[in-house]
């Protein structure tokens, strides 16, 4: 197995309306632990990797419970800072039929958002790591987290640690302050070896492109070439494709472009009866990283990531709790008999 993988980002509590209810339609909320980077870390730990979480949580019962949940899944949390303040929250009302799901963020002034950028000793935190994974959610939270993310990527590049960056563009978070996404995200992409991004994420950083394209795949290929031209360290760009018949029925495919001009694809798989789509992109990213960190070729890594993303849609909560063998069974197309 590969060298240690470290994930930097905010640990969150998700408070969800039960079933398909609207928020506070009844006076109950269901709690799950999540966060984009933590979702990736838990998946990778369950796939057998040595994974450490980096960041800051509230020094209270909620923060300690969140850290305990990550440890339960095999993630090392010893380097996570505890600080006075509050946990970041988000509220979820799961959609039904043709009513979409809705997320309400409550993350302003969390312990993570207010943690000073110079409070992280990046050379020490990244020592012995093979990969650093982070996402565009972190810099979207404010100036301090944007600076911390940039410092982390800069230190990783200096120490020869490969950077995995997930675009995860969140307009609601960026709209809450006066940060400029293009200028803030550019150095993160500049340091990345792999980016999980589609043409919209690339357009945020490089500006919209007026090249004509009829399909999502063509738009992705054009955006990938623009990104490779702009960011010399970038070797791979991967994303999922999604067609939605209803909230409960999607078709999920996957694409990966490489610097040498190759374009790998996985044909869409129908996903009827979706249980929970939150974290599906993180499960996909973790699956691709598992393949690359294990020395697999690009096509096999993409197939594994796609299968992991598909399986997450059948797991409640933010974390993908499927093990590597569960994912490989789907890659192999094994029958869905009851396991006895």
- Residues belonging to the active site: 282
- CA–CA gap between residue 276 and residue 314 (Å, rounded): 6
Is residue 113 within 8 A of residue 87, CB to CB? The reply is no
- CA–CA gap between residue 111 and residue 173 (Å, rounded): 16
Strand partners, 70: none
Cα–Cα distance list, 153 to 49, 139, 203, 251, 312 (Å): 21, 12, 21, 34, 28
Is residue 32 within 8 A of residue 16, CB to CB? The reply is yes
- CA–CA gap between residue 131 and residue 109 (Å, rounded): 29
Q: In what order do the strands lie in the sheet with 194-196?
A: 51-54, 4-8, 129-135, 162-166, 194-196, 236-246, 249-258, 263-271
CA atoms within 13 A on the CB side of 278: 23
């Amino acid at each position: 197995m590969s060298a240690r993988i470290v994930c930097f980002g905010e640990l969150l509590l998700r408070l969800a309306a039960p079933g398909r209810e609207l928020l506070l339609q009844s006076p109950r909320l269901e709690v799950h632990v999540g966060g984009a980077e933590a979702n990736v870390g838990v998946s990778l730990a369950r796939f057998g990797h040595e994974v450490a979480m980096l960041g800051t949580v509230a020094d209270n019962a909620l923060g300690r419970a969140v850290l305990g949940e990550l440890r339960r899944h095999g993630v090392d949390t010893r380097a996570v800072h505890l600080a006075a303040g509050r946990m970041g929250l988000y509220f979820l009302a799961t959609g039904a039929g043709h009513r979409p799901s809705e997320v309400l963020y409550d993350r302003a002034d969390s312990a993570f958002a207010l943690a000073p950028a110079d409070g992280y000793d990046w050379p020490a935190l990244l020592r012995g790591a093979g990969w650093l994974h982070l996402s565009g959610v972190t810099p979207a939270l404010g100036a301090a987290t944007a600076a911390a993310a940039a410092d982390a990527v800069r230190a990783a590049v200096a120490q020869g640690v490969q950077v995995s960056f997930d675009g995860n563009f969140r307009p609601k978070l960026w709209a809450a302050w006066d940060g400029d996404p293009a200028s803030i995200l550019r150095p993160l992409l500049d340091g990345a070896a792999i980016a999980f991004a589609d043409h919209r994420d690339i357009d945020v950083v490089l500006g919209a492109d007026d090249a004509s394209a009829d399909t999502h795949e063509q738009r992705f290929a054009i955006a990938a070439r623009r990104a490779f031209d702009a960011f010399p360290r970038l070797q791979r760009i991967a994303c999922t494709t999604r067609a939605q018949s209803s909230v409960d029925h999607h078709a999920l495919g996957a694409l990966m472009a490489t610097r040498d001009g190759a374009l790998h694809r996985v044909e869409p798989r129908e996903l009827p009866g979706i249980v929970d789509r939150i974290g599906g992109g993180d499960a996909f990213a973790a699956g691709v990283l598992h393949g690359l960190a294990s020395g697999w070729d690009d096509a096999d890594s993409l197939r594994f990531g796609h299968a992991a993303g598909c399986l997450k849609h059948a797991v409640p909560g933010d974390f993908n709790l499927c093990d590597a063998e569960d994912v490989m069974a789907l890659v192999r197309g094994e029958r869905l008999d009851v396991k006895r």
